Amino acid sequence: MITMIAAIGTNNELGKDNDLVWHLPDDFKRFKTLTTGHHIIMGRKTFESFPKPLPNRTHIVISRNEDYAVPDGVLLASNMSEALALTHGDVQPFIIGGGEIYRLGMDRADCLEITHIDGTFDCDTYFPEINMDQWRCVSQVPHPKDQRHDYAFKYCTYHKIN
């Protein structure tokens, strides 16, 4: 099962200037819990936004630059097909962004793990529109705004309708 995971604003906002525009500690914990032990597929800009590779995950970076230098243990792919082929043996690889990588992965994904944030944001990167004729929400867990979270949000799991 190929899963795309993202946190998005009301208008599908993802981030600005290669960074998130919100801080949701519980969403970070959920991301870590879900992706640990799996392959994570991302674009070069998303990879470069990390201070270092995330622990206990196999990183696959998609870049058109075949000479792009990645650290030991990080895999390089030139396109989504090649990236997915590198995940052999992983029952649930994750596509983690950014915007262009999500667009490339939408037709290939079987599952979406989306954190819907109750807010609109000034962003330059967006998640593709979720066509509800092709996806069914199978789980929804609300999270209120609180002292550690400036926004209310909900975790939604979508499965592709066959």
Question: Is 138 exposed, middle or buried (CB count within 10 Å of its CB: 0-12, 13-18, 19+)?
Answer: exposed
What CATH code is carried by the domain that includes residue 76? 3.40.430.10
Query: What is the radius of gyration, based on Cα positions, of the chain?
Result: 15
If one counts the domains in the chain, the total is: 1
Structure-token pair, residue 145: 């705004």
What is the extent of the structural domain holding 116? 3-160
90 CB contacts (<8 Å, ≥6 apart)?
Answer: 38, 39, 58
pLDDT tens-digit profile of 39-78? Answer: 999 999 999 999 999 999 999 999 999 889 999 999 999 9
Q: Give me the chain's average pLDDT, please.
A: 96
pLDDT at 162 over 90: no
Give pLDDT, residue 97.
95
Structure-token pair, residue 140: 């929804």
Q: Quote the pTM value.
A: 0.95
Nearest partner of 159 among 54, 2, 35, judged by Cα: 2
Structure-token pair, residue 86: 């590198």
| C-alpha dihedral, 85 to 42 to 149 to 22, nearest 10° | -160
Structure-token pair, residue 83: 């990236």
pLDDT tens-digit profile of 112-129? Answer: 999 999 999 999 999 999
